[in-house]
Every structure is written in structure tokens, then in C-alpha cells.
Amino acid sequence: MLRIAIFAILLFANSAQALLLLPFDSFGPGVEGGTEISAHDPISQRLFVTNSADNTLDIYNLGNPQQGVTLISSVDLSGFGGGPNSVAVSNGLVAVAIEAAVAQDAGLVAFFDSAGTPITSIAAGALPDMVTFTPDGSKLLVANEGEPSDDYTVDPEGSVSVIDIVAGAPVGPARSIGFADFNSGGPRAGELPPGVRIFGPGASVAQDLEPEYITVTEDSGIAYVILQENNALAVLDVAAESILAIFALGSKDHSLPGNGMDASDDDSAINIANWPVSGFYMPDAIATANIDGQQYVFTANEGDARDYDGFSEEDRVDDLVLDATVFPDAATLQQDENLGRLTITTVNGDAGNDGDYEQIFSYGGRSFSIWDGATGALVYDSGDEFEQVTAQFGLPFFNLNDGRSDNKGPEPEGIDVARIGEQWLAFIGLERTGGMFVYDVSNPLAPELVTYLQSPAGDVSPEGLLLIDASDSPTGQPLLVVTNEVSGTVSLIGVRPAASEVPAISHFGLLTLALLLLLVGGFIAARRQP
């Protein structure tokens, strides 16, 4: 088992109530895909981590993390299907979403006790990608993505499965919430906003919508389901098991001040600038919180394209024919060091359907956003702050040594929101840049950057974030669990309010200290390698 311990890499302290993020352990199999999503059981103080590399559910003892985390067992999942995608825990009941050997076939949810002993399995939809229990523990919700086959000849319908939990035990069969009513000619076709991206070749609305992630309100009444490739958000009434609404999320204007981006991987430099580009938000992970009586949805705006052998929407700006009236400087824009290398969609932007593009649409917002849970309206977006902050590290940290600037930049992937003390805090992980941002979102209209933590040495590509509340934590303090997909490691990070009497350190001083610690951490990690 790989174990690296790097401490206290605090980069920014912008808030009056700054936080200390204290990385105190990193563990895992150390192979890509060995750690993806985690769930914590406060009763047994065990951490459950999906391991797609080995097709297992790995169970760790989290009882005394200060002394190190140990692997208890790895539960073989090969008898259940093609591999695990997600895990959730409620009152000692562990649920694992497992896709079928053929991803377009119906997958299932396998249930275990906290020791890893199988209880039962219940069929779900095609490609169950994420599972979550309602906070009251009465239901399990499953996001069935329903991705098409690589040749695009088979395209299952996306759906949400609902499984009852009675007296702590799952009761099947699952019930399915689908989107067929929104199909052309269906009874709710007129309710589908035109901004929802429906574009798979020959696909109905129900086939094209791909549920990615689910978050449920604290009262277990409403579930929000992100439809990533469709750039949309579905709202579900949990008790009625019905879809209340679908919201189109729209795009951000990268030509506006504060919305800049580095669009090229071919300039060997950091160049955050405004460009005539619209970025679809296309969130991955989402969270929800009720703050001062208002429900909000928080999104990590990763971006995701459909890129299959049978159909691909991906291209680059230098391959487009840009409308000469809208883009009189097209030749300059399409140079590789400007916009030429930027990955875009060919599905949107050609309003006249004449082969000339009047608008350029890219993938992802390179940000996190806050949305009104009742109306779907955008309340706040962090603009280009992720790139502006990480740019201060220079290369190779920025956008994976600038190599992802032409794609989705820092690629925010995971998000969790929790109340710690008097503050509501949002934690956002960057899949490509690595590292994690923390914002004070107590005022959702005006969030404040609190701190940024560059990933400790050896931890690469944060995939999932899980904030363990102090009341459930083995340390008695909030504990952040970060699963890093590429390095196959799990980072444990303590969350502490910074003492008010600690003198402020300048940003330059913090940056210098952080880089020093990072270099020392890398040296220690290298020395520990066999």
C-alpha cells in the first residue's frame, strides 16, 4: 500500500475566517483507477472506495487516521458485472453501482453490510453511474447514464432508479423515472427548454438525456439530477417519483471581463485572456444546500463531449469555417497560439446551418457555479478565478503544464458543500490541475475565496470529494476525503478554522512556503519509492 504524508500546504487565506487544510495521510493501491469514489460509515468508521482497476470495493479502517489508514479487505465485484462506478452508505448499509459487462445493458446496485458481506443486488438502468441515499435513509436513488455504444447503434434511455429501504434493508424491484414524456409528440414535449442539448444521431429525448450525478435536499423532498452532456438540470419530486422540471444551464461568455481563459496548449506560456467563445457549463458533480431558507444547487463545471467512433461532436477552432461578418479577424483567431487549438463542439454555433459558424462553443465553465434551486437561474459563477489563482504557480502546475488549456483547462470535477461552524463552505477539486479550492458561500450571491490547496505530492487527479462532518469524523473535526483517480490514492485532509490570533501571511509568503513544502514533499515521496 502506498502511503505518503505531506503536511499543511496552505496557499491562500482571503477570508476573515480562513481555514487550515492539513493533509495528513495518503493511501491506496497506487494504480490508475484504483480509487474513484468514496463513502464513509460513521458507525464502523470504515471508508468504502470503488476500485475500477481491480473491479473491487476496497474497505479501509478510518478509526484512527492520525496513526495511518489500513486496508481491511477488497470485495471482489467481478461476479456482479463490468465494474463499480459509485458507492454510498446509510446506517451501515453499503450500496455500489455496477455497470453490466456490456455497458448498454441494465446494470445493478449491489448491497453489502459494513464488513463487505453481500446482502442482495437489485437491477437498475443502463450504466448506473452514481448512487445516493436520501438523507432520511428511506430511498436509494441511482443515476443511470445510458451512454450509447461506441458505434452509436445502441443508445439506451437515461433514467433514475428508485429503491426503497425498509427497516435498513433494500426492497426491490427498483422503480424507474424516465424522460419519455419529453419526447417529440409526448405529453410534456413543450416543457423541454430549447437550450437543452438533444443531438445524438437518431436519438429520442429519453435516449439522449444522460443523468450523471444526483444530490438530494436535506429534507429528502427534492432531488437534483445533472444531465451533463445535455448541459441541463432535472428536478425530481422524491415522494411522487416524478420530474418537476428540466432547466437548461446555458453558457458563459468568455469575452467578458472576469471570464477569461487560456485557450492554447501550443504557446508554452500562461495566457489568460478574453476570447469570443461561449462555454457550456456541463457540470459533473453537484451539491445542494438550504441557506437562509433558500435552496441552492452548486456545480463543478467540468464539461464533457460526446466522442465515439460512430459519432463525435469534437473539433478544433482552426477546423471551423468562421462567419466572416461575425469574425472579421478569423485568420488571427485560428492561429494555434490563439484559439486554433481550442476543442469545441460542431453541434452548436452554426445557426444558419450553412457551414459557417456564427458562435464558438467550448466545453465546461472552468469554474464552479451556484444556481437557484427553484428556478434554475444562475446566481453566481467563479469566472476565471481558478485559472488566475493556479497561474501564480506557473508551469508545470497550471492546466497540467498548459497541456489542457486547449480542452477544459483546470477541469473542476468534484464538489461538496457543508456548514462548518458559522460558515457555509464549498470544496471544489480540479481533476487536471490537481488541488482544491474552498469558498465561503454563506452569502451565495457573493462567495469569497477562502483558500486553495495544491494537491500533495503523489496525489494526482481528484475525482471525488467527501466532507465528513465533525460529529461523524473519527478525529472529532471535519475531515475531507479526496479520491485521486490517476494516482490511485486517497487523500485525507483535516479542516480547521485558522486561529484569529495567527498573523496574516502575504500571498507571496504563502506561495513561497507552499512551493517549498511541495518540493520537500516530493523529495520525501521519491525517497520512499522502492
Instruction: Enter the pTM of the model.
Output: 0.92
- Burial of residue 373 (number of CB atoms within 10 Å: 0-12, 13-18, 19+): buried
Pick left, alpha or beta for residue 405 (phi over 0 → left; psi -120 to 50 → alpha; otherwise beta): alpha
513 has pLDDT over 80 = no
Q: For residue 499, what pLDDT is reported?
A: 57
Three-state DSSP at 307 gives: strand
pLDDT over 80 (residue 425): yes
Rounded Cα distance between 446 and 498, Å, is: 21
Q: Give every CB contact of residue 267 below 8 A, 6+ residues apart in sequence.
A: 336, 337, 402
Mean pLDDT of 386-396: 93
Who has greater pLDDT, 109 or 520? 109
Q: Which residue has the higher pLDDT, 477 or 11?
A: 477
Q: How far apart are CA 457 and CA 301, in angstroms?
A: 25
Specify the pLDDT at position 17. 55
Q: What is the pLDDT of residue 5?
A: 33
Structure confidence at residue 14 (pLDDT): 54
β-sheet bridge partners, residue 70: 61
Residue whose C-alpha is closest to residue 142's, from 110, 105, 188, 103: 110
C-alpha cell at 323: 462567419
Report the alpha-carbon distance of residue 429 to residue 413 in Å, rounded.
Answer: 6
What's the pLDDT score for residue 396?
87
Task: Please check the confidence at residue 6 and state whether its pLDDT lies above 70.
Answer: no
Q: Quick check: 521 pLDDT over 50?
A: no
CA 205 – CA 172 distance, rounded (Å):
27
Percentage of residues in the chain with pLDDT exceeding 90? Answer: 85
Residue where the block lists cell 452554426: 350
pLDDT over 80 (residue 209): yes
Question: Is the pLDDT score of 2 beyond 70?
Answer: no
Q: Which of 92-106, 228-242, 510-524 has the lowest mean pLDDT?
A: 510-524
- 447 pLDDT exceeds 80? yes
**How far is C-alpha 498 from the chain's CA centre?**
27
State how beta strands 479-484 and 462-468 pair: antiparallel
Query: Please, are residues 114 and 43 in contact by the beta-carbon 8 Å criterion?
Result: yes
Could you give the percent of the chain with pLDDT greater than 70? 90
pLDDT in tens, 133-191: 999 999 999 999 999 999 999 999 999 999 999 999 999 999 999 999 999 999 999 99
What is d(CA 334, CA 357) in angstroms, rounded to the nearest whole number?
13
> HSE on the CB side for 133, CA within 13 Å?
24
- Reduced to 3 states (helix: H, G, I; strand: E, B; else coil), residue 208 is helix
Average pLDDT rounded to a whole number, residues 205-217: 98
Cross-sheet strand order for the sheet of 118-126: 83-90, 93-99, 106-112, 118-126
- All three cell numbers of 354: 450553412
First to last CA, the chain: 12
pLDDT given at position 404: 95
Reply yes or no on whether the pLDDT at 503 is more than 90. Answer: no
Give which of 199, 197, 189, 196 is closest to 152, Cα–Cα: 199
Q: Is the pLDDT of residue 505 over 50?
A: no
- In this structure, of 86-100, 125-139, 391-405, 439-453, the range with the lowest mean pLDDT score is 391-405
Tell me which residue of 306, 305, 331 sits closest to 317, measured CA to CA: 331
Which is it for the CA torsion 350, 355, 356, 360, positive or negative? positive
Q: What is the pLDDT of residues 17-55, one digit of tens each?
A: 567 888 888 999 999 999 999 999 999 999 999 999 999
In terms of Cα–Cα distance, which of 182, 224, 234 is closest to 203? 182
pLDDT at position 512 over 70: no
Average pLDDT over residues 227-242: 98
Helix residue spans in 379-435 (DSSP H):
385-390
Mean local confidence (pLDDT), 52-62: 98
Write down the pLDDT at residue 104. Answer: 98
For residue 3, pLDDT over 50 is answered with no
Residue 522, burial from CB neighbour count under 10 angstroms (0-12, 13-18, 19+)? middle
Per-residue confidence (pLDDT) for residue 456, from 0 to 100: 76
Q: Is 298 strand, coil or helix?
A: strand
HSE on the CB side for 429, CA within 13 Å?
A: 29
Is pLDDT of 271 > 80? Answer: yes
* Least confident window among 18-27, 198-207, 299-308: 18-27
Residue 275 above 70 pLDDT?
yes
Among 385-394, 424-433, 490-499, name the one with the lowest average pLDDT: 490-499
**What are 334's three cell numbers?**
485560428
Q: Which three cell numbers stand for residue 139?
A: 430511498
Q: Is the pLDDT of residue 515 over 80?
A: no
